[in-house]
Each structure stands twice: as structure tokens, then as C-alpha cells.
Structure 1
Amino acid sequence: MTEVKAYAATSPTSGLVPSTVERREPGAHDVEIAIEFCGLCHSDVHTIRAEWGQVSYPLVPGHEIVGTVSRVGKAVQGFTVGQVVGVGCMVDSCRECGSCLEGFEQYCEMGNTGTYGAVDRRNGDTITQGGYAKAIVVDENYVLHIPEGMNLAAAAPLLCAGVTTYSPLRYLDVQEGDAVGVIGLGGLGHMGVKIAKGLGATVTVFTTSAAKADAALALGADHVVVSTDAEAMAGAANSLNAILDTVAAVHDLNPYLATLARDGALIQLGLPAEAMPPIQPGLMIGKRLAYGGSLIGGIAETQEMLDFCAEHGIASDIELVAASDLDAAYDRMVAGDVKYRFVLDVSTL
């Protein structure tokens, strides 16, 4: 075992405090990564504050990891020391079920192993610990290549926010000229705009705040609709082929479903903590609409997304934070005071 510096939560109310975490010695198929940057995801906040259920403490969060390979196991084929790599939201899965064999490890029928807070499949007594740390050891099958030339800090959020929006757009086979709506303009929403534009779509952003209109247009959106404006929503009726809903607060989906054209689909990405208002079946039946959900992406699809973003010059809009400012950054995330993702500079640990 190797002990490395980290920042961890020790209780739901402790905040993030200096700590250490033990990393295993690299096995035959392991890659050891010296972490340089780690994105801050809103799910980190929910998890360490025990808002999504029971947590095993101490817990080191972080699943948007970018760094440099420092050691590799003797059987590793795809990575060498010095390469820039990434690790996203999962570090293992059963590798045997239909989903895993088809490249959808995120939907592993036995449950994928999260990068932090999950029972380690190698050692059932160990809880995985994430990327707010100086180093991590991950099986090579769950490590990604970061394309040359990408800004490493801005690439980190792609490993969660990027693939979470890319995957449903690919599933829906969004093509050049399609019309895509994005509900919400936060960490997920701003990536949805950029990736949909990269695919050649016309993009409409739905926001409750008229003040966000200029920001949405600056990101590449073609249209902005203030969702509290009934006249504006009526004007968008039957205009969209697909919608990504990135909002994690409770809201009524029916007005957005009305903006879909026949055979359109709304994909839920945000995860509200409470039940949503019911969907009106008539809206769905009358235009053969679909309502679905999507969870991150598989390993191959995540690599595809990274390569796509590199080719199209897409990266997350970020603000770098030091380790000592993590708690303040969390409070700002909860308040919606970030454009659009925080990234931890691991050199400050």
C-alpha cells in the first residue's frame, strides 16, 4: 500500500478536510496515476453530505480525474508511463453481464463500481476512494486516453458532464440540422449545448432566468426560451426533435413535452430528490413521444466523446479552485454560483 495526501469528508457535516488515503500497489493490469486535476460534481456534494443515503466515512470524493501515468502493471498493454489519462465515474463492473459485454458498463446488471463510495470488487472490505487525492490506482480497462492538446483542467469535467450529455445525443442519433432543446444551463446544460452544436444541431436553451440568455447564446445556443413565459413556450411548440433535461430540482415536464415535434424524445439527466409532477399521457400519445433517462456512458463511448471533443475544440468552462477552498466551492455550487464547473488543482493539496 502507498499512502497519499487527500481531502476527505469524515461526517455529513465535517466539510472536506486534509487527510490521507491508501492506494494499492499496481497489480498486473493496473495503472497508477499521478492526479493533476479533478472536477467537482454536484453529486460529490450530495454524496458526502449523505443526501443520497448512508455513507461510509471517511470518504474522498471526485470522479472527474485527469493526470499522468506514473506506474503500470506488468501485463498492461495500452498505457505507458508519462501518458496523460483520465478516470471517470466508475472503476470496475462485473464484465460478464450483457450490458458490460456490449460496452454499457454503466448499466452493469450487478452494479458498476463507482470511483468513490462503492464496495471494491477486488476487496469487499474496501470502499473506493476518489480523485481529491495525489494519486489513484485503476484497472487499465477503466482508464481513458486524454487526446493530445486538450487543456487538462478543462478536460476533467468531460469525464462526467461531457459523457452524460454526449451519450443520450448519440443514442438518439442526433444529426446535423436536428433541433435539440437543453433544459437548464449549469454544468451539464452548458456541455449539452456545446456537444449538440458540435453534432450540427440547432440548439434551444430553456431557462427560468432571462439573465442567462446572453450566456446561453455565448455558448453557441441558437435560441433561448424563458420557461416561465407562457407565450414564449407556446411559440416553441412542436419545434424540437430531442430535449436533454439537466435540471435536478422538481419541475413540470409537460410544458417541455409540448415543444417536441412528432417522434421527439425528452431524456432525463438531472435527478430530483423528490417525485416530479405526473406526465400527461395525451401529450405522449398524440405525437408518439418518448420519455427516458440516461446515465453517464460506457468506457468506449467515453473515449469516443473525448476524441469528439478534441476534434471539435470542445471543453468545459471552468474555475480552478485550491484544496483550501473546496467547502466554499461546494456552497457556491449549491447556490448556482459557478460558470460552469469547478476543478480542483491537486497541486494545492
Structure 2
Amino acid sequence: MKTTTKKNRVSPEGTQRLPDNHSQTRSIEVATEVRKWKLQVSDNGLTAAFKELEKPNTVVSLFWIARNLLLLVICAGLFYWNPLTSLLTAPFTARAIRALGNQVHDASHRNIFDLRSGIRNWNNVIGEWLLGPVMLYDFNSYIKGHMKHHGGLATLGLDPDILCYPVHINDDDSILIAFWKVYKPLLLDKQIWMKSLFGDLGGMSKAALLRTTIFWAGLGGTIAFLFGPTAIVSVVLYYFLNRASFYHAVKCFAELSDHPHRDEPNLKAPITMAAYTRTLPTTWVSWFLYPENDGWHLLHHVNPGVPMPNLGRVHNLMLQISEYQAAASKYDSFFTGPKSLIKDLIGRYPSTL
């Protein structure tokens, strides 16, 4: 019986478990790759359109933020009214939390408010005082960690988001069993679960902790004033229960999907940005798993300056570039068919396609 072994060593945003020779591993030459993509954009006459679509779409971004906050309020309110409603609302709550996390990400790239307008950096304001506290993130620490991911993409010791743990898949394993073997170590990793549940609460700066305390104290006081103190307990309980369960499960799947595992024999081999970064299929599943255009991950690494509301239009422009079109058309579904994402996650994507 043949066994396929995948070895990966790093939990996303967690403590790295590196091999002794990690300093010898080779990374993607990120700057070179980005220049290459920009040259192809220029050669295809897309530069002017790109520049226009790099401008933040503030109205849409703020609408998305408000919509997801409202969705959280509605779901928490239904739980307070009848806890059994959580059986129906839990997926929507997880989706809203994921979407707000994506807005933290967009704010970290300065993509919500236009810096060229001459006003103060409102990306920092909304990140530090609203999005960060909602997600329990230290916004400034998030920026530093995420910039490491972009700059050190696929490099052990530099990229904090590499997934690196051993996986043993047998040829006769069913797709579900094989997927569980890949998914389980991430899902049951204590550090990752604690991160999903508590965010950065255990390691925030004093300033971030103060902002988070002010936000939640203000929210709690408002809820108590309007609905009574028992409502506070209900809302907080519902929020953290979802973070510990549905949200954690969805976030782990997203982490698996954004970038593939790097096998132990190939850790030191060069790899391209297109090979290491996925473009996810656009289906109804995307609304839950990859809200607010989050599935166009290759495009984001090619040009992090494109705001999330504009990613779809830029993606359509990029399809004129043959290399991008080939990478972006790899999957036609998440879970079924020969070109499904799950086939790639377990190493069974057809090599002839």
C-alpha cells in the first residue's frame, strides 16, 4: 500500500516549528515576481485601468462593514430571544466574523480609505478603534505579521502563515478520510483554536488592550441600557461560542485553501507565486467561506493595493494574461468533480489538467 506523506511545520499566525536547516530554504522571490506581473499588466495595456481600480471604494467597504455588524447583532439578538435559533444562525455568524476579519486585512493594506485625499489615515482609525476590537486583534501587530507573510511568502522562518505538519494519506483512503487527515491537525491545534477564540487578547499592546476594553465596555453598557444586564451575557456567550466552533472551522478551511502545503523534499526548491497562491472557485459556497471577494488570493498577492470591492473587476482584466488565466481557472468547484479544490488539498488533483 502506497502512502503519501506531506510534512508541514507552521500554524497560521502561530509559533513556527522549523527544521534545523530552515535558513537554507529558498523562498519565492516576491519582488521579482511582482515586477514580472506588473510588466505583463503593462504589456497588455492594463496599467491605466489598474491604477483606477487601486483607488479605495470606501462606500462599498463601509457598507460591507455595517452589513456584517448588523448581521452579528441580529444573530446575537435571536440567540438572546431563543438559544435554539443558533442552530440556524451559526453559519451566518461565522460568515460575518470572517468578513469583518477580511476588512481588518483590507484596512491593514490601506485599502478602505484613500490616503491621497490628504486627510488623516482613517484606515488606522477604523482598524484600531472598530475592526480590531471587534475581532480582538491588535491592529498594529496584525499589520506587522501580515506584511511578513507578503514579504516572506513561502519561506520557512519568514512567512508566519506556512502550514507545516506531517500528513499520511493512503491511496485507498476515501476523499473524506484523506481530507480529514489534512484538516484535522489544523482544526485541533490548540494554538490556532485559542487564536480563533481570543484573537490577540493574550499578547496585545497596552494601547490595543485599552482600545478593546473601551469598545467592549461601551458595547456592553449600551446593551445593558437597552435590554438589561442578562443580554450582555447572552451576546458575549454567543459570540465566543461561535468563534470557538463555526468560525474556527471555517477559518481553518480558508487557511488550508489560500496556500498549499509545501512537502518536506521541496521546502528548499523555488516556487512561483502562481503555484503557491490559489484562486478559489466562485460559487454559492464562496459567500460563506470567502466573503467580500476573499477568494481571489493570487490577485491579492500580485497587487495587495487593490481594495477588496474592486478585486472582481481587476480579476476579469487579469484573465487577459495567459499565465494568470491558467492559474485562476484551475478549480471549478470546492468539493465535487475532477477539478475541485478538495482534490488539490489531498494531493489528487489530475496532473494532466
Is this a same-fold pair by TM over 0.5?
Answer: no
Larger helix proportion of the pair: 2
Higher relative contact order (CA 8 A, sep 6+): 2
Larger strand proportion of the pair: 1
Q: What is the TM-score normalised by the length of structure 2?
A: 0.24
